[in-house]
Amino acid sequence: MCRHAAWLGTRQPLTSLIDEPEHGLLKQSYAPRHQRHGMINADGFGVGWYNEARAEPVRYRRTVPIWSDANLPALAQVARSHCLLAAVRSATAGMPIEETATAPFTEGTWLLSHNGRVARDALADLGEDLAARAESTCDAAWVAAAVFLRRRAGLDLGEALAEVVSRAGEKDPAARLNLLAADGASLAATVWGDTLFFHLDDRSGGVLVASEPLHDRPGWQAVPARSLLLVSPGGGVRVQPL
């Protein structure tokens, strides 16, 4: 099923999503508490963050379990940003295990992660030749390609996610379409088939969004099923139905 998390606010290191909190993505890779499908997320991981030295986000992806990458701890300590996104993967049966199938996917300033599964047939009419546009043959890469087509058409982050999830979910009633995306200035996420939580962090002035809580401090709020979550600069949070 996978797990993902993101931050928007003051500059934080990637460790704030991965191994600093007691239930960060490192722990969620082998002992998730709210995951409804699958028990372990060992089929790769990816991180993305924004740096003023370049227009596009920086991305690091591997096909190994997150706990086995000896380079990540040092990288996660020095990679700091006001906007972070990270994911650990549990590959859907039949989907390839390769870096190009691992979130986050990116185009321009956008980063995107998909937790879940969807029939690729349900995505086929969401854009011309998605098979050629997608990084990989996996369903998540097709979802990303469909979202990025809407970026090129001028839709904003939330509009792009909402349109793809609503249309694909109508075509495939068994789909699980939990998306998490960033553009460097805002976050957007969908809840469709699994869980999502957010936490307003008054101590550091920002918002955490995650498949499941990263720590046990009070303040985590569950996002209702079939909803779109929008996070704007300054800690603004809005939830609307899909």
Catalytic residue among 1, 2, 191, 210: 2
> What does the DSSP 8-state code read for residue 50?
-
Catalytic annotation present for 83:
no
- Contact between 17 and 48 (Cβ < 8 Å): no
Q: What is the CA radius of gyration of the chain?
A: 16
- Cα 178 to Cα 2: distance, rounded to the nearest angstrom: 10
Say if residues 73 and 79 touch (Cβ distance below 8 Å): no
How far are the Cα atoms of 32, 227, 229, 230 from residue 238, in angstroms, in the given order? 26, 10, 6, 5
Here the tokens at position 10 are 């003051």
Q: What is the dihedral of CA 166, 167, 168, 173, to 10 degrees?
A: 70
Other Cβ atoms less than 10 A from the Cβ of 160: the count is: 25
Spell out the residues 6+ positions from residue 171 whose beta carbon is closer than 8 angstroms to its own. 119, 121, 122, 123, 125
* C-alpha angle 119-121-125 in degrees, rounded to nearest 5: 130
Catalytic residues: 2
